[in-house]
């Protein structure tokens, strides 16, 4: 299982390198639709959609996965505030720096200060979000206990 994960990560990393997604200037050029727009990443995204769509269609066939006991498909389909806010933060970060998390981690090897700062900020944001979720679940659980009907007479 670890070997399969490693190989998938390696293929993903090479795909990022070959496509130019690790070059912030190229990504920012793609996002600059009113300036010197570089449409080449649109082809990368279209190819990714074709590959992933085909793969999901093939995996939906009712058979057991090769490297796991069962498929673990997501069950939620709703769009809530957390999804929208998270998507906005992701897009803002991508637009400001020209990197998303995968390419940013790959670019850490370059030791460029702005990439390092971006990854540290991203990790800090993830830690803060996890702590926030933990506090919220504690508050909700405590609230449920105080709102529960008492079994005392």
Average pLDDT, the chain: 84
Burial letters 31-61, b for 16+ CB under 10 A, else e: beeeeeebeebeebeeeeeeeeeeeeeeeee
User: Over pLDDT 90: what percentage of the chain?
Assistant: 12
> Where on the phi/psi map is residue 98: left (φ > 0), alpha (ψ -120 to 50), or beta?
left
Per-residue model confidence (pLDDT) at position 142: 72
The confidence band for 143, taking pLDDT boundaries of 50, 70 and 90, is low
Task: State how far the Cα of 97 lies from the Cα of 118, in Å rounded to an integer.
Answer: 8
Task: State how far the Cα of 122 lies from the Cα of 128, in Å rounded to an integer.
Answer: 10
50 pLDDT exceeds 90?
yes
Task: State how far the Cα of 60 lies from the Cα of 24, in Å rounded to an integer.
Answer: 35
> Where on the phi/psi map is residue 146: left (φ > 0), alpha (ψ -120 to 50), or beta?
alpha
> Reduced to 3 DSSP states, what percent helix, strand and coil does the chain have, rounded to the nearest 5?
70, 0, 30
Q: What is the mean pLDDT of residues 22-51?
A: 89
Of 32-36, 51-55, 97-101, the least confident = 97-101
């Amino acid at each position: 299982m670890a070997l399969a994960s490693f190989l998938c990560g390696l293929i993903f990393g090479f795909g990022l390198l070959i496509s130019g997604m690790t070059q912030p200037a190229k990504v920012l050029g793609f996002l600059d639709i009113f300036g010197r727009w570089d449409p080449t990443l649109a082809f990368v995204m279209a190819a990714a959609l074709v590959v992933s769509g085909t793969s999901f269609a093939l995996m939906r066939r009712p058979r057991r996965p090769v490297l796991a006991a069962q498929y673990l498909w997501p069950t939620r389909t709703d769009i809530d505030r957390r999804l929208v806010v998270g998507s906005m933060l992701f897009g803002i970060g991508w637009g400001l720096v020209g990197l998303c998390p995968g390419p940013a981690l790959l670019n850490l090897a370059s030791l460029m200060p702005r990439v390092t700062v971006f990854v540290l900020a991203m990790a800090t944001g993830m830690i803060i979000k996890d702590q926030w979720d933990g506090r919220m679940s504690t508050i909700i659980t405590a609230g449920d206990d105080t709102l529960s009907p008492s079994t005392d007479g």
